[in-house]
Chains A and B, each alone.
Chain A
């Protein structure tokens, strides 16, 4: 009867605090979702249920434009980030551990540790000089910037997957006449795939909702969905923005659920 171990859930006030935290986290989001169905234009007073804001948001050319741009950037950047992250993960898990290893990890994960604003300013200055030199004004800058800060998000699940992988499998493939390329193609890659897909989705979501770096890097007329919404809200919080946010929320929830299902330990 004395073997009960310490459990935080038995501390007084645990339930109250837990509920409070969840309310603080999710109540605003819940309100956002609810008010996206509000028939009035006010974001604070409920006037009745309507679906009208969704088609209306979509009919807005600026919203459509920003959405498409966001999706192009997010998909391109996340694919690039995943490929680079896979290579980085292979390089860091397949070689002998050296003293420089920690330094390499820090380098790869740098975007997670350096304040975003610093990266943003640095990129602004860097890209400005390239713009001057080349005259190129396209989406390439945003895609490059997004790919760069998405790398650590893609890298972490891939590395976890590779670290859990039995290296004897690759030895076995070589023993069974597979060339190094065949070993990668038929053994390593299929086994890394769940990690790579998880990384891809994390990178996609991260790119999709970035504001700070995008604001600094984008040229005129290159609004992404988040920067467009920010601009709208500066004037007035509109129900249209609520509707867009709700859709983005839905997309994120779907992607994170898929991420969870894929990374769950499968045998």
Chain B
């Protein structure tokens, strides 16, 4: 495998409209997605993730920049000339064709022999476990079944890249979980590069090999789910992926002196200058509540406790009023035993406090 294998966007820029109505949907995004990877583009709506997907699919051409597939420039190739298939958010199944005809559509358009089309369709029906539905029309299927047919239809022509545009957003929670593992299984079985677009951070974390976090047309951070979660590049990534607490302070040597009092060690080195004012983040599950003072802990007052079933989210106020949320596993009684106004100490797990790199 050469270094150029996979999908690459180079300075891809997409501008809609002109003059006052000008909208920059994609702002010089460069990214390399490796072959065989499950890559997720994650971001809030309007961040440009779908635009990037449409540029790769060929539904739109960039205002400037290039799209490459295995090192070949495909920027201006029409969609029917690209070995790239899409699973649409609305599924876009052809209502006048049966399930089998839908799945065979791509191969038929490419002029494959009927026998070959039929055998591939059968294979695909088995792959998505829809053998018994071959002769139904899409409207006779449930949402989850339509989803499977859309997947089978996009996989049948054996594309180099499969694009998935929020395909799970229309399903209910239980079905969504099922389809998540189903998608992961299909990706491993076929070895096809999956580029998955979602605004659901949990979906991104559980399914992806790597995640690209986007905001306002720019790519903020690319990395494995672990990297993104434990070492968020900036405040936006930290708060968009999971919940987090922000604490301000002055940077010392491998430690931070918080505005709320106390000096705590940092989890990793930072590029920020010693002595500068910084913001650090810590995840709610990486804080312990203790009764008595201990080294590396901060005094806090309970302000609120919210029960979530498997765990409870307790809100605390630090000495300077900064709010900190701590996630506690619910005990058998369901009551974490903290009442409003109670004074406790918060101990941060060593190495959990991260300085965010995006501050001046």
Nearest neighbor of B138 in chain A, beta-carbon distance: A267
| CB–CB B106/A177 < 8 A | yes
| CB–CB B96/A176 < 8 A | no
Asked if B95 is at the interface (CB within 8 A of a chain A CB), the reply is yes
Asked if B299 is at the interface (CB within 8 A of a chain A CB), the reply is no
Interface residue ranges of B60-94 to A (CB < 8 Å): 78-80, 84-86, 88, 90, 92, 94
Q: How far is the CA of A223 from the CA of B157 in the complex (A)?
A: 59
| CB–CB B157/A171 < 8 A | no
With A171-B79, A182-B109 in contact, do A176 and B157 touch (Cβ < 8 Å)? yes
Asked if A16 is at the interface (CB within 8 A of a chain B CB), the reply is no
With A171-B59, A172-B86 in contact, do A178 and B92 touch (Cβ < 8 Å)? no
Asked if B258 is at the interface (CB within 8 A of a chain A CB), the reply is no
| CB–CB A187/B79 < 8 A | no
Q: How far is the CA of A179 from the CA of B79 in the complex (A)?
A: 9
Interface residue ranges of A175-190 to B (CB < 8 Å): 175-179, 182, 186-187, 190
Asked if A173 is at the interface (CB within 8 A of a chain B CB), the reply is yes
| CB–CB B90/A176 < 8 A | no
Asked if B246 is at the interface (CB within 8 A of a chain A CB), the reply is no
Interface residue ranges of B20-52 to A (CB < 8 Å): none
A166: chain B residues at CB < 8 Å are: 90, 92
B90: chain A residues at CB < 8 Å are: 166, 168
A175: chain B residues at CB < 8 Å are: 57-59, 79-80, 84-86, 154
Nearest neighbor of A187 in chain B, beta-carbon distance: B94
| CB–CB B109/A176 < 8 A | yes
A172: chain B residues at CB < 8 Å are: 86, 88, 92, 94
A-B CB contacts (within 8 Å), total count: 60
Q: How far is the CA of A179 from the CA of B78 in the complex (A)?
A: 9
Asked if A117 is at the interface (CB within 8 A of a chain B CB), the reply is no
Main secondary structure of the interface of A (DSSP, over half): helix
Interface residue ranges of A157-209 to B (CB < 8 Å): 166, 168-169, 171-179, 182, 186-187, 190-191
| Chain A nearest CB, measured from B52 CB (Å) | 16
| CB–CB B88/A191 < 8 A | no
| CB–CB B94/A267 < 8 A | no
Q: How far is the CA of A186 from the CA of B88 in the complex (A)?
A: 19
| CB–CB B59/A176 < 8 A | no
Q: How far is the CA of A100 from the CA of B109 in the complex (A)?
A: 36
Asked if B359 is at the interface (CB within 8 A of a chain A CB), the reply is no
| Chain A nearest CB, measured from B86 CB (Å) | 5
Q: Please, what's the 1-or-0 string for A240-251, where 1 marks a CB less than 8 Å from any CB in chain B?
A: 000000000000
| Chain B nearest CB, measured from A87 CB (Å) | 21
Q: Please, what's the 1-or-0 string for B142-157, where 1 marks a CB less than 8 Å from any CB in chain A?
A: 0000000000011001
Q: How far is the CA of A191 from the CA of B97 in the complex (A)?
A: 10
| CB–CB B94/A178 < 8 A | no
| Chain A nearest CB, measured from B136 CB (Å) | 12
A179: chain B residues at CB < 8 Å are: 80, 109
| Chain B nearest CB, measured from A266 CB (Å) | 10
Q: How far is the CA of A232 from the CA of B75 in the complex (A)?
A: 71
B109: chain A residues at CB < 8 Å are: 173, 176-179, 182, 186
Asked if B174 is at the interface (CB within 8 A of a chain A CB), the reply is no
| Chain A nearest CB, measured from B305 CB (Å) | 44
Q: How far is the CA of A267 from the CA of B96 in the complex (A)?
A: 9
Q: How far is the CA of A172 from the CA of B106 in the complex (A)?
A: 10
Nearest neighbor of A183 in chain B, beta-carbon distance: B80
With A171-B92, A172-B86 in contact, do A177 and B57 touch (Cβ < 8 Å)? no
B84: chain A residues at CB < 8 Å are: 175
| Chain A nearest CB, measured from B275 CB (Å) | 55
Q: Which of B58, B106, B157 has the most CB of A within 10 A?
A: B106
| CB–CB A174/B78 < 8 A | yes
| CB–CB A177/B139 < 8 A | no
Q: How far is the CA of A166 from the CA of B89 in the complex (A)?
A: 12
Q: Please, what's the 1-or-0 string for B343-358, where 1 marks a CB less than 8 Å from any CB in chain A?
A: 0000000000000000
| CB–CB A177/B110 < 8 A | yes
Q: How far is the CA of A190 from the CA of B59 in the complex (A)?
A: 23
A169: chain B residues at CB < 8 Å are: 92, 94-95
A186: chain B residues at CB < 8 Å are: 105, 109
Q: Which of A172, A173, A176 has the most CB of B within 10 A?
A: A176
| CB–CB B96/A177 < 8 A | no
| Chain B nearest CB, measured from A180 CB (Å) | 8
Nearest neighbor of A176 in chain B, beta-carbon distance: B106
Nearest neighbor of A182 in chain B, beta-carbon distance: B109
| CB–CB A173/B139 < 8 A | no
B57: chain A residues at CB < 8 Å are: 175
Interface residue ranges of B80-131 to A (CB < 8 Å): 80, 84-86, 88, 90, 92, 94-96, 105-106, 109-110
Instruction: Show 17 A/B contacts (Cβ-Cβ < 8 Å), sorted by A.
Output: A166-B90, A168-B92, A169-B94, A169-B95, A172-B86, A172-B94, A173-B105, A173-B109, A175-B59, A175-B85, A175-B154, A176-B106, A177-B110, A178-B80, A179-B80, A191-B95, A267-B95
Beyond contacts A168-B90, A174-B59, A177-B106: 10 other A-B pairs, Cβ-Cβ < 8 A, are: A166-B92, A168-B92, A173-B94, A173-B109, A175-B59, A175-B79, A176-B154, A177-B109, A186-B109, A191-B95
